[in-house]
Structure 1
Amino acid sequence: MSLPTFSFSSTAEEVATTFAAELKGKNVLITGTSLNGIGWEGARVMAKYANLVIITGYNLERLKLTEEAIKKEVPSGNIRPLVLDLSSLAAVRKAAAEVNSWPEPLHVLIHNAAAVIGPFKLTADNLESQIATDHIGPFLLTKLLAAKLLAAGTSTYVPRVVYLSSSAHNFPGAQGINFDTVGKPNSETYGAFDSYFQAKTAGILTAIELSKRSKGKINAYSVDPGVIFTNINQKEESIAHMQSYGILGPDGQPSSEHFEWKTIPQGAATTMVASFDTRLNAVPGAYLSDGVDATKSVATHSSDPANAARLWTITEKLLARSLSFELEQKSE
């Protein structure tokens, strides 16, 4: 069968339909599935063909709304909600333990959730909110679910991990990861978009390093979904920042002066490509945009293997310190 070449206008539905056979029998976990978001759209189209779609969110009531909406449209869909707050390392460990208690292997892990682009905010672990939610929490979740992912591998199938990144990693002013502040946030040097750029660079670097360290047993990819008017850029605390960058206009609505906008179905398409397009088996660690491999467009600071290895090591050490601290507290 000749596979189509996807593009800016491709939709998640089109991609899922193309790879319906690949989706069949697969168990997928996708984070950040609130209504009016690309995670919700991805979960909706996957539910039509996948064996199991695990949806996550930190708010149980909103999670139930997502589940109900998907089941209303796809009555046959097997949806399982999971409460997961990626900004809390303890919450990540709790959620991972729940997933690991389930009998099914995990074929695809999609890191779609993201923190709001807003004022400086510390998490319960004294980490900056965006880097914690977009990188450190997902990094820990992947490590904790690695055995479940590996269990899904066969002689003909390699499990996948997908990281939502952005072309913003390469915007003017983006300098890549500030390794000094990953685990030691500084409110005086903090910038909302600088932190966002770093978080999106982290996704690209982690996909590169995970693919390398997995030695063919897990394939990871990073994704630029495009510019989409979703629930996250409608948050009150982020509107002013979005306006300052020209993403939203004075009325708080999308501005087309500097950006070409995608619909939510179009915005979820490249995630579906990264999760199921069989052609990508040949390019583990690739960065995708508009449904195709766009690795050559990645900024040097976001593709340097040395940076990828350094970020991985720093994050592992940070998590080791965090766990040590937690254990000390519990023993007191």
Structure 2
Amino acid sequence: MNIRADIFSRLSRTDAHLFYLPPCPTPPFHSPPPQKRSPLHSRDKSKEKNVLITGTSLNGIGFESARVIAKHANLVIMTGHNSDRLNLAADTIKRELPSANIRPLILDLSSLDAVRKAAGEVNAFPEPLHVLIHNAAAPIGPFKLTVDNLESQVATDHICPFLFTKLVAPKILSARTEHYTPRVIFVSSIGHGIGTGVNFDTLGRPDPTRYVPMEAYYQAKSANVLTAIELSKRSKGQINAYSLHPGGIYTNIMNPASAPKEAVEGLHKLGLLEADGTPRKDATLKTMGQGAATTLVAAFDPRLDDKSGAYLNDCVAANELIGPPSSDPANAERLWNLTEQIIGETFTF
């Protein structure tokens, strides 16, 4: 039995994604049933940390990440744009973990003004912010403009998270010590490498005649990878930034009852779903806990301390899997500068 595979096959029950594991091959998530107990001892790096995670609705990897982090962290700030769904998610964790310190925060990533308001609230909190996890994503669907006349996927997945990171950077930097560097995590996707990268012509000037739902998704996820690379470079060791592919997970984005038909069609083309939206029997899908695992490794694994800017897949750094347009330093710099122009603010250190 591969011990690492054993551990990761039952993450949601043992929170094994917070274990410090010796270097070993990438875990196969289709491994046999686990043994009853792991021989490894926890070396929890999340203790006493304050963490903010976006996109924490029930039945998503953001919620699962928040649930596990809440067992160990000093504070978990859960965000969402819908107060009812946000409070439901927070209350669900509180029922399971009465001692958890959960703080709901309304954050609408489709509006620059709303982002500024939420960032102001975060900056007024007394605690430093050790980890910022950008997990939220817009639905894959028909062309839609935000209140700022930006395409909704690019706005929600990249532009507004960029602005939020910029605005709360002082709070993040206040968590830095001689022995600890705060982290910013971007939950991207393997889809970042399927398209041709970010379309710089339409990033700030959306064109409905050139819009294809899945291509917009690929562009947004490419932007996540590029932003992590450039944030790592520009912060010069003050912030460790990472992007990641969580894997294929049957979440709200795949459920035909809640997902737009464009998303179902796109995931069908990727071989994850049947035409009717049900999971393909031959597709390798992860459980919710396994899907959250890579996020938590990015947030807390000390072995990544000297790998800022890395892209993670299956809980390990895998920069060799980054698509060429998403690893080009020139693209990363161009995206950063253009995003600054769109938000009307410079993001410097």
Q: Identify the match of residue 270 of structure 1 among 287, 291, 294.
A: 294
Residues 244 and 298 from structure 1, CA distance in 2 versus in 1: closer, same or farther, beyond 3 angstroms? closer
Q: 1:188 to 1:7 in 2, by over 3 A?
A: farther
The answer to whether structure 1 residue 154 and structure 2 residue 177 are counterparts is yes
In 1, Cα distance between the equivalents of 2:182 and 2:259?
37
Deviation per CA, 1:193-246, whole angstroms, max 9, x where unpaired? 101111111010000000000000000000100011101222342334433544
- Distance of 2:206 and 2:212 partners within structure 1: 11
Structure 2 match to 1:327: none
In 2 relative to 1, CA 175–143 (structure 1 residues): closer, same or farther, beyond 3 Å?
same
**Which of the numbers 252, 255, 275 marks the counterpart of 1:250?**
275
What percentage of aligned pairs have identical amino acids? 58
User: Paired residues, what number?
Assistant: 317
What is residue 17 of structure 2 aligned with on the other side? 15
Among 130, 146, 152, the alignment partner of 2:153 is: 130
Q: Secondary structure at the match of 2:78?
A: strand
- From 59, 64, 68, the equivalent of 2:87 is 64
Q: 8 Å contact 1:31–1:39 — kept in the other structure?
A: yes
Alpha carbons 1:6, 1:290 under 8 Å: kept? no
1:118 alignment counterpart = 141
* Residue among 87, 95, 100 paired with 2:123: 100
TM-score by length of 1: 0.91
1:268 is paired with a residue whose SS is helix
Contact 2:183-2:299 at 8 Å conserved across structures? yes
Aligned counterpart in structure 1 of residue 249 of structure 2, from 228, 246, 251:
228
Q: Does 1:215 align with 2:215?
A: no
What's the counterpart of residue 206 of structure 1?
Answer: 227
Q: Which residue of 2 is the match for residue 193 of structure 1?
A: 214
Aligned equivalents of 2:240 and 2:204: distance in 1? 27
The DSSP-based 3-state class of the residue aligned with 2:170 is helix
Q: Find the aligned partners of 1:315 and 1:300 in 2 and give their Cα distance.
A: 20
1:293 paired residue number: 317
Q: Which residue in the other structure is 1:309 paired with?
A: 333
Q: State whether residues 34 and 62 of structure 1, in contact with CA within 8 Å, keep that contact through their aligned partners in structure 2.
A: yes
8 Å contact kept, 1:6–1:291: no
Describe the shift of the 1:139–1:6 C-alpha distance in structure 2 as closer, same or farther (beyond 3 A): farther
Correspondence for 1:31 among 38, 54, 75: 54
> Residues of 2 paired with 1:15 and 1:246: CA distance?
27
Distance in 2, Cα, partners of 1:40 & 1:111: 12
Distance in 2 separating the partners of 1:168 and 1:265 = 21
TM-score normalised by the chain length of structure 2? 0.87
Q: Distance in 1 between matches of 2:7 and 2:322?
A: 18
Matches within 5 A, 1:176-191: 176-191=197-212
Q: Is the 8 A contact 1:7 1:291 kept in 2?
A: no
Q: Which has the higher helix share?
A: 1
Deviations 1:11-42 (A, max 9, x none): 36211254653111100000000000000000
Structure 2: gaps (5+ residues): 21-41
Contact 1:20–1:49 under 8 Å retained in 2: no
Aligned residue identity for 1:36: N
Take 1:6 and 1:27, find their aligned partners in 2: how far apart are those partners?
A: 29
| Secondary structure of 2:133 counterpart | strand
For 1:299 and 1:212, the matched residues in 2 are separated by: 19
Using the alignment, how far apart are the partners of 2:270 and 2:286 within structure 1?
18
Deviation (angstroms), 1:94:
0.6
Offset of 1:247 from its aligned partner?
2.8
Partners in 2 of 1:250 and 1:281 — Cα distance? 42
Corresponding residue for residue 326 of structure 1: none
Backbone CA RMSD of aligned residues: 2.0
Q: Distance in 1 between matches of 2:5 and 2:158?
A: 30
Q: Contact 1:88/1:137 (CA < 8 Å) preserved in 2?
A: yes
Conserved in 2, the CA contact under 8 Å of 1:209 and 1:312? yes
In 1, the alpha carbon distance for the partners of 2:75 and 2:43 equals: 14
Q: Which moved more, 1:5-14 or 1:279-288?
A: 5-14
Larger RCO, structure (CA 8 Å, separation 6 or more): 1
Instruction: Label 1:26 to 1:4 Cα distance change in 2 as closer, same or farther (>3 A).
Output: farther
- Partner Cα distance (2:10, 2:313) in 1: 11
